Structure 1
Amino acid sequence: MDKRCVNRVTTGAMLGGAVGGAVGAVYGTYEAFAYKVPGLLKVRHIGRATVTSSALFGLFLGAGSLLQCGRR
């Protein structure tokens, strides 16, 4: 793989991580209040949703960037 392809995959993974983190934080906050998670467990719940969503979005966007990079 050339330098441009590696840069494209890395950028895709970082962008996916940022978007996934934002979506996970919003969804985790909604879910924590909707299910009435008690006390400081809300912070753990929101953090877990944020990290999980960030990792998944980053993985899939990075993999998609890798597939697109291989076509050219």
Structure 2
Amino acid sequence: MPVAPPGSYGYGNQGPSCFDRMKTGFLLGFCVGMASGALFGGFSALRFGLRGRELINTVGKTMVQGGGTFGTFMAIGTGIRC
């Protein structure tokens, strides 16, 4: 298979911009935060005895909060490195 020439990755002759890197950092952090929110939120909700709709609502809120928080900090950290 032929190797792609340098600079043919959709960004011209340069790499991704700082904003593109921050978006990627936010999305990566959001995914990691959602996964950790599902684990920790799920276990704590089950420990409190929540079932059914209460369980789903509580775990969903925890996932979105964890994803947003961790994604924001990952985006800030990526922006600092730019």
Same fold, judged at TM 0.5 (above): yes
Structure of higher CA gyration radius:
2
Aligned length: 67
Q: Distance in 2 between matches of 1:39 and 1:59?
A: 30
Q: TM-score, normalised by structure 1?
A: 0.86
Runs of at least 5 residues in structure 2 that lack an aligned partner in the other structure: 1-15
Q: CA RMSD in A?
A: 1.1
Q: Give 2:60's aligned residue.
A: 47
Q: Give 1:22's aligned residue.
A: 35
- Displaced runs of 4 or more, over 2 A: none
Q: TM-score, normalised by structure 2?
A: 0.77
Tell me which amino acid in the other structure corresponds to 1:53: G
Identical-residue share of aligned pairs (%): 31
How many Å apart are 1:39 and its aligned residue? 3.3
Provide Cα deviations, 1:10-46, integer angstroms capped at 9, x if missing partner: 1000000000000001111101111112432001100
Tell me which amino acid in the other structure corresponds to 2:40: Y
Tell me which amino acid in the other structure corresponds to 2:34: G
Q: Secondary structure at the match of 1:41?
A: helix
- Greater relative contact order (Cα 8 A, min sep 6): structure 1 or 2? 1
